[in-house]
Chain A
């Protein structure tokens, strides 16, 4: 079965610093989604990537899907306290019509 591994599991950064979160798949990715979750709340969709080499940005968050389509990175520039939360990657599971998720990366931003 396909698995998604996220790294790091948690991250503490000083406000204003840049950071990167990675999501690695055990199989080729046909659609990769990034979600953000605030503590105890539901997931909020951030971005979707489908093509190898694709890059998308929303405000200070940029996500990339590598050419081989087995890894994605989420980069936050000049982090702010509002960026704090858990970031999860999700992917269309091969051979099915459902999404699988990584375990998440918990981000803390120190003011």
Chain B
């Protein structure tokens, strides 16, 4: 079984809809991250969490919110989806004290 899982893997939604992307990990890592990837722009950090009570904004947090329900779960929400949020979204984890990150398989989101 994969250590970092993301659901759904693919999603098509309409402008204005609220959607949630979920991430679960079995690695026991304290730190979790949400990134989006766009062609030519690489990965950009949306939010990160160093433990259940610690949530921080990344460089592109506008239009997104997150919830760290447990050490193993970190969800990303788009409150009112817009077309320029169409992207590939990745969840990642890392153990405390290390910057090496372990990535989930990604969620491909299309907002019409």
Residues of chain A whose beta carbon lies under 8 Å from any beta carbon of chain B:
1, 4, 9, 31, 33, 35, 40-45, 48, 88, 90, 92, 97-104
User: What are 26 A-B pairs at a CB distance below 8 A?
Assistant: A9-B40, A33-B100, A40-B88, A40-B108, A42-B90, A42-B92, A42-B103, A42-B105, A43-B92, A43-B101, A43-B103, A44-B103, A45-B100, A48-B99, A88-B43, A92-B99, A97-B50, A98-B58, A99-B101, A100-B45, A101-B42, A101-B43, A101-B44, A103-B40, A103-B41, A103-B42
Nearest residue, chain A, Cβ from B94: A99
Assembled-state Cα–Cα distance A101/B105 (Å):
17
Separation in Å of the B58 CB from the closest CB of chain A? 7
Assembled-state Cα–Cα distance A42/B41 (Å):
16
Assembled-state Cα–Cα distance A61/B102 (Å):
20
Assembled-state Cα–Cα distance A33/B41 (Å):
17
Interface size class of B (residues with CB under 8 A): 20 to 34
Report whether B103 and A31 are in contact in the complex, using a CB–CB cutoff of 8 Å: no
B26-40 vs A, CB cutoff 8 Å, 1 = contact: the mask equals 000000010100001
Contacts of B99 in A (CB 8 A): 31, 33, 48, 92, 99
Nearest residue, chain B, Cβ from A1: B59
